[in-house]
Copies of this chain bind each other. A is one copy, B any other.
Amino acid sequence: MKYIIAIIKPFKLEEVRDALGALGVQGITVTEVRGHGRQRGHTEFYRGAEYAVSFVPKVKIEIAVEASQAAKVVEAISAAAKTGQIGDGKVFVLPLDEAYRVRTGEQGVAAL
């Protein structure tokens, strides 16, 4: 099994979720994060103080999938999240040893 972590632009979340839904992937966990990368932040000014804010709001998506599905999921995310502009984000694939569903106690692929 694989654990896929994707960092995307916030306003692309709904499209990505729909794309994953189309693939039959239902389980997703979403976190609001801030990202630092090539995309530049902005400058903020509060009375006397000026701050260069280098972090940009992003959304992190986590999805545990069967290893065989991983490529398709990565592709679906990439396609849906793409605007072609800097800051579109990353998709990371990590190995996943085991998965459990709390409610039923199911294990492995059945738990996803």
Contacts and interface: CB of A to CB of B under 8 A. Distances in A.
Interface string A28-61: 1111111111100000000000000011001010
A97 B93 contact: yes
A34 to B, nearest CB: 5
A98 B93 contact: yes
Given A86-B103, A90-B112, A95-B97, 12 more contacts: A8-B102, A17-B54, A29-B33, A29-B58, A30-B33, A30-B36, A78-B100, A85-B103, A90-B102, A91-B102, A92-B100, A95-B95
14 contacts: A2-B97, A3-B5, A7-B29, A17-B54, A26-B37, A27-B36, A27-B90, A30-B55, A87-B103, A88-B103, A89-B102, A90-B100, A91-B100, A92-B96
Interface of A: 2-3, 5-8, 17, 26-38, 54-55, 58, 60, 62, 64, 70, 74, 77-78, 81-103, 105, 111-112
